[in-house]
Each structure stands twice: as structure tokens, then as C-alpha cells.
Structure 1
Amino acid sequence: MADLAVLKPKLTRLKLSGMLDSLQQRFDEAVAQKWSFSDFLEHLLQDEVERRDSKQLAYRLTKSGLDPHKTFESFDFSFNPKICEPAIREIASCQFLNDKENVFFVGPSGVGKSHLAQAIGHEAVRRGHEVLFRRTAPLFRWIAAGHGDGSYSRRLKSVIAVPLLIFDDFGLQTLSDEQQNDLYEVLCERYESASTIITSNRDFGEWPSVFSNPLMSSAAMDRLVHHAVKFVIEGKSYRVESFSSRQQRLTAGN
């Protein structure tokens, strides 16, 4: 076999330096198992494909803002039997992204809305989709801050263009008139072009009050709900229940 030191500059020039990680191993396997040249090349190329896929997955996950721990693997459906797991799993297949549909999670604090939204986001990332997860008010403050350095249009366009946008805590904080205009622009531009997931503590009927202009509110909500599915999640708070359990354990230990 050629010296790895001789192959390295060639692989680097071809942007295939990742192959060096498995080159020796694959060569040894090829000799031991008497692979054909094509078998050896296929295994080596597959290693490179998997390496690049893994790198892209890590990049998409970091860029998304999703909590690495908020996945379906860590969600306890048994805690709240009112949650329809089959329906959630169906959404997690990510067909709604192809159909350009929206998904809403509505209910009190602590019932798992954000966790479920992020878990779906993780599934989308794993399937190769770009995802952006942000709390609503801070996201629009970030967009508005772009006026200071000339990046406003770029920031707004990046939010509009992302295939899956997840608004967390929608309607929890009051938006300025400018931020309401930006929200309206985002919702209008994404209508029938990209999917949005929204979590909110506010009742669905209160959402129009996010906009102070009733005409803008009506137009925005009309587009938002046209292709959408809503999950109302009720029950005990995971966080409060966890706090109570810890307190009971501490009390029992005294």
C-alpha cells in the first residue's frame, strides 16, 4: 500500500482528507477478506459519505438553536396520557414539511409544548432539513437590531427562508409596532412556502391580539391557520412535578 504521507496531500487537494481516518483500517480489511478493488473503493467512499453527513448534521443542529436533550428519546409520554402519541409521531415523520403545513402546541406552562416542538425539530434536522428554534420576542429583537449594523434585511430574509421555523412562547411578550410588522412579513412570506411550529401559553383565540392593528391581525392569522394542525396539551407541569418529587425525596431522607 502507498505510504499515507504520500496520499495525504492528494486527498487534501481533492477535499477527501477525511478518508485518512479509515484508510488503513479498510486496507487491512480488504487484504484479510480479499475484497475486489471496487469493494475497497465502495467502503472507502461510504466512510467519507457518512463522515460528511455526520458533519452536516452537527452543523445543522448547532445552527438550529435546538436543545440537544429535547428529543423524543428523552420525552416521557407516560407522564401525560392526554397527549396523543400516535398523532405526534405522525407529525414527526416530517411530511408536514413537504406539505408546507404549520403545527401549533397550545397549553399551560410545563406540559411539554416546547419539548415536543424541539423533538420534531430534531427529527427534521436528522432528515436533512434546516431548522431555526427561537423564543418569539428575542427573535424579533434580534431582527430589529440589524438596523444598527445594516444586517436587518439579511436577518429578516434568513428567518423567512428557513424550511422549519419554530416560534416558542408565541404571544408571551408584547411586540413593538416594528416587530409586529416584521412578524407579519415573516408569516406572509412563509405562507404556503415553508412550515412553522408555534408553542404558546395563550389560548388560541387570543393570538390575534399579538397585533395591535386588527386588519394586519386578521390577514396574518388567516394565512397562519390555513394549512395547520393544533394540539391542545393539558395536564400537570413536568417542572412542578419534578420539583415536588425532589422535595419529597429530600424530606424522606431527613
Structure 2
Amino acid sequence: MMTQQTIDKLCDMKLTAMADAFAEQMGKPDLGELSFEDRFAMLVDRQWTFKEDRRMTRLLRTAKLRDCACIENVDFKTPRALDKSLVVRLAGSDWIKKAQNAIILGPTGVGKTYLACAIANSACRNGFAAMYKRAPRLYQEVAIARADGSYPKLMNRLSKIKVLVIDDFCIAPMTDPERRDLLEVLEDRQSISSTIIATQVPVENWIAHIGDPTLADAILDRLVHNAHRINLKGESMRKIRSSLTKTDKSGR
């Protein structure tokens, strides 16, 4: 009777994993040979693991990353000038703790989006909030927030994302509102959060795409100077995989 009351109390305190582990212990008499400290540690470990797993699941769901990307599945064999040691470092958390950025450059199809999302996936698994946004969609969301009065709330949310992926950066010339909104986003994140930029456009051409030299200089200052750079080269990964698929089919 006392056992069930204890389980019910644990459930009332939302310690359901600990309650399950306690019930399992009570059904295994051989565990009675363990000390109280050891058995209690097992209960705490079960609850802690459950909580961490649920948190990671929530972080990954909120991040809305593309392609179910993860570092373990990054292709280092295909020649595209990918620095494995740098990718491994970015899969860790030191650069995030230092609020550094990452810039992934390269032509269409070489895997910029996948790599950016894989790094963000690792951030989530390390306990950091991440989010994926295509640049045009980010600008659109900020513009809508300005119009409907939710701008402060959106900016506050973006500032708290520890790793923000901005994909397709400089895919088209920026309007003045877009330039100013981006600068505000980056200003709120400076020195407290990390940003990953994925783009086809070389850094030296960003000013031309951003438009206003003064605003462009301010944007670059917040993105470039403390950024790790990955310059991908080679053929489109989509083209390579398509060729391999056709070869496999023809060989059957």
C-alpha cells in the first residue's frame, strides 16, 4: 500500500520516469542487495535521462531543421574541400558558448543547407536551442510582425535562439526594410548567440547584394569577424547522387 502511495505521489509531482523505475525496483527483490544510495541514484538517473531526452526532442521539433540532417551522416568522402576537423569542432559547443558564428559558402547543391542543419542538430543535442530560417522567409516574418504588433515578441524569441541558421542569404538584392530588420536581429544576438549563414555569394560580394554600404558594413561587422568559414566546392551533391542512382538502375 505504501509503495503505491509513493508511486502516486511521484506521478503527482510529474516524476513519472522515477515512478516507473521505483515500481520496477520493487518488482526485483535482488536489487535489495544494493545500498539505498545506489538505488536512489538509479531512480534519479532514470528521471534525469527522461527529462533530457524530452528536452532534446522538443528542441529538435522547434528548430524545424531540413532533411533530418546530422553530423554522423555528413559525407566527407565526396571531394568538396570540406574540412572535417572544423566540422567536428562546430559539432561541439565551445563556439556556441563563445557566441561565434559560422559561414558556409559554395555553389548550388554542394550541401550547404544539409551541413548547416547538421551543425544545428548537434547544437540541439548539446542542449542549445536552434532554429532554421531561409532568409526571404525570415524577412517576411519580421515584416508581418511589425504590421501586426508582435514585433517585440518575435525579436525577443529570435534573440534567445542560441544557434540561428539563415539559409539562402543574399539570394536576391535586399530591400531597405530587410536590411534594417536583419541588422536589428543581429544586433540583439551579438555577443550572446551564434548565427550560421549559408549562401552561394562570396563574402566580398555581400555589400553589393545588401545594398546600402553603411548598413552592409554594420551587418558584416556582426557576422564575419568572429566567424568560422567553410568554403565548399565541387559538383552538386544532388547531381552526383542522381548519377549514382541511374548507374545502379542500369546495372540491374
For structure 1, which segment, 98-107 or 175-184, has the greater mean C-alpha deviation from structure 2 after superposition?
Answer: 175-184
Distance 1:179 1:27 in 2: 61
Distance 2:29 2:142 in 1: 54
* Code of the aligned partner of 1:207: W
- Corresponding position: 1:46 with 2:61: no
Q: Any idea what SS the aligned residue of 1:165 has? A: strand
1:169-184 matches, cutoff 5 A: 169-184=168-183
Q: Any idea what SS the aligned residue of 2:43 has? A: helix
Mark the CA change 1:235 to 1:14 in structure 2 (over 3 Å): closer, same or farther.
same
Q: Any idea what SS the aligned residue of 2:177 has? A: helix
Distance 1:140 1:26 in 2: 54
Q: Displacement of 1:243 after TM fit?
A: 1.0
1:61-210 matches, cutoff 5 A: 61-67=60-66, 69-80=68-79, 82-210=81-209
Look up the match of 1:245: 244
Count of paired positions: 252
Mark the CA change 1:3 to 1:33 in structure 2 (over 3 Å): closer, same or farther.
closer
Distance 1:158 1:179 in 2: 18
Q: Displacement of 1:176 after TM fit?
A: 3.3
Distance 1:18 1:233 in 2: 45
TM-score when scaled to structure 2?
0.91
Q: Any idea what SS the aligned residue of 1:79 has? A: coil
Give the unaligned 5+ runs of structure 2.
none
1:21-60 matches, cutoff 5 A: 21-29=20-28, 31-32=30-31, 34-60=33-59
Give the unaligned 5+ runs of structure 1.
none
TM-score when scaled to structure 1?
0.90
Q: Displacement of 1:123 after TM fit?
A: 1.5
- Corresponding position: 1:219 with 2:218: yes
Distance 1:145 1:26 in 2: 54
Q: Displacement of 1:147 after TM fit?
A: 3.4
Q: Displacement of 1:47 after TM fit?
A: 0.3
Does the 8 A contact of 1:130 with 1:164 survive in 2?
Answer: yes
* Code of the aligned partner of 1:12: C
Q: Any idea what SS the aligned residue of 1:167 has? A: strand
Q: Any idea what SS the aligned residue of 1:129 has? A: coil
Does the 8 A contact of 1:112 with 1:238 survive in 2?
Answer: yes
For structure 1, which segment, 47-56 or 34-43, has the greater mean C-alpha deviation from structure 2 after superposition?
Answer: 34-43
Q: Displacement of 1:76 after TM fit?
A: 1.5
Distance 2:13 2:174 in 1: 50
- The Cα offsets for residues 37-60 of structure 1, whole Å up to 9 and x where unpaired, read as 222111111100110010001011
* Code of the aligned partner of 1:243: S
What's the % identity of the aligned pairs? 26
Q: Displacement of 1:101 after TM fit?
A: 1.2
Mark the CA change 1:81 to 1:238 in structure 2 (over 3 Å): closer, same or farther.
closer
* Code of the aligned partner of 2:238: R
Q: Any idea what SS the aligned residue of 1:77 has? A: coil
Q: CA RMSD in A?
A: 2.0
